[in-house]
Amino acid sequence: MSFEVFRDVAQPIIAGFGITARRLAEQKVTVQYPDDRREQFPRTRWRHVLTRYDSGLERCIGCSLCAGACPARCIYVEASENTDQERYSPGERYAKRYEINMLRCIFCGYCQEACPTGAIVLRKDFELANYEREDFVYTKEMLLEPIRG
């Protein structure tokens, strides 16, 4: 092996070691999660929440506009009629069944923009890990915020 061939082979390897050495000298930016957390950006969108009015009634009127606006088709809404005995929302209808498949969701926020009552919002809770696939289908009970009392 001639010196020129050795130089052509060794030069990129030495350059790579130089990059590695420079990176080792820089200050680390590791965050000790979950003890320390990075600040979220102002427009961060993660976990979906179905909101309520101050009276405790659900904001969702079962219009399915969020499901229609969803490009991933991960939202399912089944509407039902409100009665005088059972009133869930102030309108004529309410969402009897509301499900979001979080495995398909791309967190685009179109559902939040399409909602006429502001019922569905995306909040900054990003810890959505689970062990079973079935647990990633969020039901209405999982999405509804608790009644303020």
Residue 65 is assigned to a structural domain of this protein = yes
16 within a domain of the structure (yes/no): no
Q: What are phi and psi of 144, to 5 degrees?
A: -65, 135
* Virtual torsion, Cα 43, 45, 51, 54, nearest 10 deg: -30
Residue 30 lies in a domain: no
- The candidate with the shortest Cα–Cα distance to 119, out of 71, 83, 75, is 75
Residue 55 lies in a domain: yes
User: 74 lies in a domain?
Assistant: yes
Chain segment 116-131, per-residue pLDDT in tens: 999 999 998 888 999 9
CATH number of the domain that residue 74 is part of: 3.30.70.3270
Find how far residue 136's CA is from the centre of its chain.
Answer: 11
Instruction: Express as a percent the part of the chain with pLDDT over 70.
Output: 96
| Mean pLDDT to the nearest integer, 68-81 | 97
For 136, the domain range is 48-143
